[in-house]
Structure 1
Amino acid sequence: MSDQTGSESIAISVEPGNPSPLRQVLTSRLFLGSTVAMFLSGLGVSAAAPQIVLFLVKELGASLQLAGFFYLTSLAAPVAGYFVGRYSDRTGNRLGLFRLCAVAGFVGWAAVALSTSVWVPFVIAIVLLAFSGATASQIFAAVHDELDEKPHDANESVVAIIRMALTGGWIVGPVLGASVAAAYGLRIMLWMTAVCALLQIVPLGALKPAVKLQPQSASAPANHASLRAMLPLLTFTGLFVLVYAGEPVKYGFLLVYMEEHLKLSPAVRGAVIGIQPFIELLIMPFSLGLGRKLGNAGLMCVAAALGVFANLCFALWPSAAGMFAGQILMGGVWGIFMVLGIIVAQRLLPNAVATASAIFMSSTALASALGGLAGGLGVALLGLPNVFLLPAFFSGIAVIGLALIARAKSFGAY
């Protein structure tokens, strides 16, 4: 793969004679359908995520402490994702499993919307919603299979476009979810999430990928089942978890800090929260070109360092300017990680891309649980704003780890 300049855009063809990534997406039912499906996935889940504690407290009578424990159910997602990915790599049935996981999401969120007992959402989250999270990993595995048949420099940019659609859903979802909940109630908002989960199936319909993977025989080497083969992937994913663990800390306490300690106006608080995804989307198109120039691991090392400085801004710069600076830096973190992360994860386990995708994509659930626990304990021990020193420390560990990865021969050009 030839080096590109850092200003490369994903919509520009990399090589004369090859279609541009955007044209590839628009002319392929698989790629275009995957893009729409990922937007719907991000839209639905992000609409419900900020409202679920409120639903448990207001509709089901849970205490705040008990409702907070709901996020620990996300620990089931990496386990479910691993088994779905493993089965996908054995059978090659990417889109079939994607549809089953989407249906599981619809049934799960509908059951939560209909629940009248506080224990029901907890059980549903573990039994059904944990599997619904595997929809994205199956999509990215199917896209990888298709692109692998026709390799050229623009392929990674196709993945980036689809990944940007997922991020786009996460930008729109919280605003839409809050609006629907305010206008029609929390249960209707949960039904909207359920419908979004089911609608993911529509853009792809009954499509079967042109690339037919042969199911692994019992005697074939199961690379995805080997702990040694997965060790680089698990190491990389663990470092990603450390960086991502800062997000639940930030979303749990940044608004409180800005309102109660800094006394910022609602308009300023909203602008601070909204600037991160804006910066993220601006940076995403250029991440691939920078990754080719600096090395993906090297660039993500820089991104983790931005995470350190972002959290230090939150902790040590008590003003609106400090909050904006922190959020702008965090936009840089996720503008890089959200594009390159899935690409590197699949490269680290090339013979089992569905397993790799599932492990990496579901790691955000593990990071959320870790961050929620660290934030809860940290705010009790350190208070505000010093609690943000914890995610700065986590990101600092990730900087060291990614720097070592960037120099390790076993990781090659990853």
Structure 2
Amino acid sequence: MPDQAGSEALTISNQSASESALRQVATSRLFRGSTLAMFLSGLGTSAAAPQIVLFLVKELGASLPLAGLYYLTSLAAPVAGYFVGRYSDRTGNRLGLFRLCAAAGFAGWAGLALSTSVWMPFFIAVALLAVSGATASQIFAAVHDELSRNPDDANERVVAIIRMALTGGWIVGPMLGAWAAAAYGLRPMLWMTAICMLLQIAPLGTLNPVARLKTESASEPVHHHASLRAMLPLLAFTGLFVLVYAGEPVKYGFLLIYMEEHLNLSPAVRGAVIGVQPFIELLIMPFSIGLGRRLGNVWLMCIAAALGVFANLCFALWPSATGMFAGQVLMGGVWGIFMVLGILVAQRLLPSAVATASAIFMSSTALASALGGVAGGLGVKMLGLPNVFLLPALFAGIAVIGLALTARTETRRQA
């Protein structure tokens, strides 16, 4: 009976915190605007991302190998994100930088839509789109600043709601982008993405809360320059996240081909397999905060990485529609946990420079995409299909060990 009473009390507490988080988002201009901005960001980026290679080939006459190299330009995003985050931590001007990054995104995607030579998208991606990738990190840094001023049990759920909006955009975007490209053409589709980038600014208007920087004296601000030593835990954690995320480009590069050419699954089944992951992801996201509090955030992400191991083993060793669905359901569990808790853990690992921490963590997906792309290309040549999925299973397994060691160290430190 005591256990049951305690469980009921915890459930009531979780429900109360969830309602409080929804209330905070609905009543706060910053949180409400951040939610809408993140949805627009996810919508616009994901609408264009799957169409870029097609645009380079059909509109600009690039060869397939050259078009494939376009994705290597994403390696500039972590570098740009780091410098934007560092400047943000020095000045505390989160939303001012957010607007500049969003404007860079608009200019970048509009530039792609107007491109007439193959070299132009490559240059634009490095010069402008890499900078625009820092919009999300500035939003989450601003949200962190505001939540830090008003500590509450529901604060982490506020972050989860805003993060879910970004994921929601990534669910709708690919379908909208495919429709727009088919109905109006690839260049108008890129203009749609550019407009989404610019519209991110509208929900937040002229709002500009500036982070309160710690000071040594009343007149002398301390500029936050995180040393390499202070950043090591964050970099180690981000590296483990990269290992888990590296499986995504492998999956999206080869899973559809495997299902079509080897398993002979119908288009409807293939579409359902791809669509089930984000659905499961959104279902799990609201519960990640509560589970993280019970088990510990890093321990829960260790479990999520283990789900990634089993998901890729399903793709490699279970050659049927059921195996594909099982793998995607497990992957939904992976990202339903990582996408909510990852940003929270990253900010806690570098509390004196949350914008830098947010930028490093959120831009690391670009590095993971490059790693996964190279590993997938070499792996499919050496191992073939479906054995190429053993590589991301191995990567996720290494991440499980690393996260377990991190969680164990954290538990000892707290004890």
With the shorter chain as reference, the TM-score category is: over 0.9
Q: TM-score, normalised on structure 1?
A: 0.94
* Superposed displacement of residue 11, structure 1: 8.1
Q: Distance in 1 between matches of 2:398 and 2:269?
A: 32
Q: After the TM superposition, which parts of structure 1 deviate over 2 Å for at least 4 consecutive aligned residues?
A: 3-15, 210-225, 409-413
Q: Distance in 2 between matches of 1:228 and 1:318?
A: 46
* Superposed displacement of residue 412, structure 1: 5.0
User: 2:67 is matched with which residue?
Assistant: 67
1:65-144 matches, within 5 Å, as: 65-144=65-144
Cα distance change, pair 410–74 in 1 and its aligned pair in 2 (3 A): farther
The superposition leaves residues 65-105 of structure 1 with CA deviations (integer Å, 9 ceiling, x where unpaired) of 01100000000000000000000000000000000000000
- Whichever residue aligns with residue 246 of structure 1, its letter is G
Asked whether 1:359 is paired with 2:335, we answer no
Structure 2: which 5+ runs fail to align? 1-5
Q: Distance in 1 between matches of 2:11 and 2:347?
A: 22
Q: Distance in 1 between matches of 2:58 and 2:377?
A: 22
User: 1:402 is matched with which residue?
Assistant: 403
User: 2:15 is matched with which residue?
Assistant: 12
Cα distance change, pair 290–6 in 1 and its aligned pair in 2 (3 A): farther
RMSD between superposed Cα atoms in Å: 2.2
The superposition leaves residues 221-246 of structure 1 with CA deviations (integer Å, 9 ceiling, x where unpaired) of 66543001000000000000000000
User: 2:3 is matched with which residue?
Assistant: none
Q: Distance in 1 between matches of 2:30 and 2:339?
A: 21
Asked whether 1:377 is paired with 2:354, we answer no
Cα distance change, pair 288–8 in 1 and its aligned pair in 2 (3 A): farther
Cα distance change, pair 44–5 in 1 and its aligned pair in 2 (3 A): farther
* Superposed displacement of residue 220, structure 1: 6.5
Cα distance change, pair 44–341 in 1 and its aligned pair in 2 (3 A): same
Q: Distance in 1 between matches of 2:320 and 2:136?
A: 38
Structure 1: which 5+ runs fail to align? none
* Superposed displacement of residue 408, structure 1: 0.7
Asked whether 1:387 is paired with 2:388, we answer yes
Cα distance change, pair 9–307 in 1 and its aligned pair in 2 (3 A): farther
- Whichever residue aligns with residue 310 of structure 1, its letter is A
Identity of aligned residues (%): 80
Asked whether 1:192 is paired with 2:195, we answer no
Alignment: residue pair count: 408
- Whichever residue aligns with residue 146 of structure 2, its letter is E
Structure with the higher helix share, 1 or 2: 2
User: 1:27 is matched with which residue?
Assistant: 27
Cα distance change, pair 112–223 in 1 and its aligned pair in 2 (3 A): same
Query: Does the CA contact (< 8 Å) of 2:243 and 2:399 recur in 1?
Result: yes
Q: Distance in 1 between matches of 2:396 and 2:304?
A: 9
Q: TM-score, normalised on structure 2?
A: 0.94
* Superposed displacement of residue 4, structure 1: 8.5
Q: Distance in 2 between matches of 1:276 and 1:314?
A: 14
User: 1:231 is matched with which residue?
Assistant: 232
Query: Does the CA contact (< 8 Å) of 1:309 and 1:392 recur in 2?
Result: yes
